[in-house]
Amino acid sequence: MAKKVLSGIQPSGSLTLGNYIGAIKNFVKLQEEHECYFMVVDLHAITVSQDPAALRENSESVAALYLAAGIDPAISNVYMQSHVQQHAELGWIMTTLTAMGELERMTQFKDKSSGKDSVGAGLFVYPSLMAADILIYNADLVPVGEDQKQHLELTRDLAGRFNHRFGEFFTVPEPYIPEVGARIMSLDDGTKKMSKSNPNPGSYIALLDPPDVIRKKISRATTDSGREVIFDPATKPEISNLMSIYAECSGMTLQQIADRYEGQMYGGFKKDLGEVLVATLEPLQQKYQEIRSSGALTDILAEGAERARNVAAQTLAGVKERMGFLPLR
């Protein structure tokens, strides 16, 4: 049987080139051999305050970008997390199985709550909901970046804890971490991950940035001292990051890129990289506009949610039976 894959992206801010290379490109590959569930995780987005109109727009935008990038709704389940109510119910159950100390150790909570006078409880407990997202489908593989490995370890612990208390039931998921392109860094700091939440828009390439904006952002991207286009993340993190982006979008190897620009300064390299990115993103942007204007997105999300609910309902029923809840007649 095909292994199940589960992943999701929050609809907060504009999706970036880092999301595309590090996640969505791999989603497209994974759907060819696996049973895939790709969510827009809107319940996670509200762990911090969201403008309702912006949440709706960003939710549709992320879903449309999934499709524009090549995720096929005929073979993959594409849906909104909030449209499958079993996520929230199992999320509560997982919260009751999670210790306070486990949540307090989460580095993402520490980072996001640092310096704030008041922090919502949802931000604290959302790793339990993330565990439920994965376990509700008994997913085998979860594509994760380095910053999410801790959350997956909690999921594995909770699956094992449930199985120990109530009998073998949950699949203990494994991480799927692609060897190349898993972590694209910021354009203004090669030591930090590219993030759509960065207040500096020049630090990331948004997937819907116009061509001239893409070219300008690359031309202004921070580069290391020196002039050599060589891949050395330890001593030249900025140029190494740009080379990784070039390789992912052009199909060239890092060595081929280094050879092409040997003896040249950064200017020509960055100009060519801008054109490579424009050529990569323009077709995606065109498909995105076609999807948004077609009106088909609502039906696609409804169909994906219905298929996901059918699986999730069976899992939740099994969980509640093992835990001693009375069945609904």
Q: Catalogue the active-site residues.
A: 112, 193, 196
For 122, the enclosing helix (H) or strand (E) is helix 121-135
Residue with the two structure tokens 């330890």? 234
Question: How far apart (Å, rounded) are the C-alpha atoms in residues 204 and 186?
Answer: 6
Question: How far apart (Å, rounded) are the C-alpha atoms in residues 135 and 154?
Answer: 12
| Pair 48, 123: CB distance under 8 Å | yes
> Using alpha carbons only, what angle is made at residue 6 by residues 311 and 12, rounded to the nearest 5 degrees?
115
Residue 57 has which token pair?
A: 């727009």
| Pair 131, 103: CB distance under 8 Å | no
| Pair 199, 214: CB distance under 8 Å | no
